[in-house]
Amino acid sequence: MADVTLRQDAAVAARPGRRPARDISRLREQWTAIALSAPALFLMALLLIGPVAAVLVMSFTDYQLGASAIAFIGLENYRDLFSDRVFWTSLGNTLRYVAIVVPASVALGLGVALLIESGDSLKRFYRAVFFIPVMATLIAMAISWEYMLHPQFGLINLLLKKVGLAPHAWLTDPALALPTLAVIGIWQLFGFNMVLFLAGLVSIPRHLYDAAELDGVRSAWSRFWLVTWPMLGPVTMFVVIISAIRSFQVFDTVQVLTKGGPNKASEVLLYTMYSEGFEFFRSGRAAAIAVVFLAFVLTLTVIKARLIEKRVHYL
């Protein structure tokens, strides 16, 4: 920055004959802008850019919190990670979780939005009800879910028993733990998707439906496939990506309800990173997992940014 102002000073000095009023005001603007953005730039460097660089560098070291020495070990952490069964289980579980939560929460969000918009009464009520899980503290709600899923006294098993179905140990059965967490994830996310779809639906021009009607499109079903669905295309892509980013970050429910268990059945990427970095303090290894996590989320986020650019032209 100093370099920039020096050059500006030089530019001012180079024209001695003219009163450099404009140059002076330019220079003032330059300084004002730097002063106004300085706190933000400093904090960005300290708390975001620096740490991103640090996490990359650390992933090539054997650093452990409290250790006196630190050595560069090249790709050792990554080699270790990629030959570790737990890591692959964890990545696989994360992707499985995403693969359950994304389609279900998008479909449910769309379905509910369509139903709400297809009538006139109680719209605000329904919208509010489905949105409550989005903002209610997930940890508190996870604890409520845990009690509902209690093998003996839980509401879910009691309801199943009532209709003559077998009860399950939802959170302790290795086959069920991850899908159960995914159901909680869907429950929490679909209201968010609903709101995005509602906004998308409202922006579909009314005359398209009139035109379809004139062309003899009568049933709601064909109206949906001919008008609504194509018009919602970009919104849907967007919602899919957002849901993927959100569900890739699953952590709270895992940490409180299963701790990655039973037997790693619900181990997910952020939870693995958390236990390596903050329970075992193997910082280098945790950094390598963070880099893998970052790679996935960045890819999704870049796709999202592309979609936003496109959507600007579309809508």
Range 157-186, binding other proteins (CB under 8 A): 158-159, 162
Closer of 89 and 188 to other proteins (Cβ): 188
Residues 50-79 that bind other proteins (CB under 8 A): 50-52, 54-55, 58, 65
Closer of 17 and 294 to other proteins (Cβ): 294
Q: Alpha helix (H) ranges present in 203-256?
A: 206-214, 220-223, 229-248, 252-253
Q: Does 84 bind other proteins (CB under 8 A)?
A: no
Q: Indicate the residue type of 160.
A: L
How far apart, in whole angstroms, are the C-alpha atoms of residue 60 and residue 163? Answer: 56
Pick one of 60, 97, 130, 170: the residue that binds other proteins (CB under 8 A). Answer: 130
Closer of 71 and 140 to other proteins (Cβ): 140
- Segment interacting with other proteins (CB under 8 A) among 14-22, 97-105, 132-140, 259-267: 132-140
Tokens standing for 167? 């009860």
Residues 6+ positions from 309 with CB-CB distance below 8 Å? none
How far apart, in whole angstroms, are the C-alpha atoms of residue 13 and residue 251? Answer: 59
Which region, left, alpha or beta, applies to residue 263 given φ > 0 means left and ψ of -120 to 50 means alpha? left
Rg, Å, the chain Cα set: 27
Pick one of 2, 18, 153, 221: the residue that binds other proteins (CB under 8 A). Answer: 153
Pick one of 68, 152, 163, 215: the residue that binds other proteins (CB under 8 A). Answer: 152
Nearest to 227 by CA among 114, 148, 59, 150: 114
Q: Does 119 bind other proteins (CB under 8 A)?
A: yes
Q: Does 301 bind other proteins (CB under 8 A)?
A: yes
Q: Does 260 bind other proteins (CB under 8 A)?
A: no
Per DSSP, 72 falls in state: B
Return the sign of the alpha-carbon dihedral for residues 87, 91, 96, 101: positive
Residues 6+ positions from 80 with CB-CB distance below 8 Å? 285, 288
Residues 180-239 that bind other proteins (CB under 8 A): 187, 191-192, 195-196, 199, 201-202, 204, 206, 209, 213, 220, 223, 228, 238
Pick one of 121, 164, 214, 221: the residue that binds other proteins (CB under 8 A). Answer: 121
Task: For residue 62, count CB atoms less than 10 angstroms from its CB and return exposed for 0-12, middle for 13-18, buried for 19 or more.
Answer: middle
Residues 19-48 that bind other proteins (CB under 8 A): 26, 29-30, 32-34, 36-37, 39-41, 43-44, 46-48
Q: Does 13 bind other proteins (CB under 8 A)?
A: no
Pick one of 100, 102, 106, 138: the residue that binds other proteins (CB under 8 A). Answer: 138
Q: Does 263 bind other proteins (CB under 8 A)?
A: no
Q: Judged by CB under 8 A, how many residues of this single chain contact other proteins?
A: 107
Closer of 17 and 45 to other proteins (Cβ): 45
- Segment interacting with other proteins (CB under 8 A) among 13-21, 171-179, 258-266, 274-282: 274-282
Pick one of 11, 298, 306, 310: the residue that binds other proteins (CB under 8 A). Answer: 298
How far apart, in whole angstroms, are the C-alpha atoms of residue 79 and residue 104? Answer: 35
| Dihedral (Cα; 132, 135, 140, 142), 10-degree rounding | 80
Query: Whole-number minimum distance, CB 21 to other proteins, in Å?
Result: 15
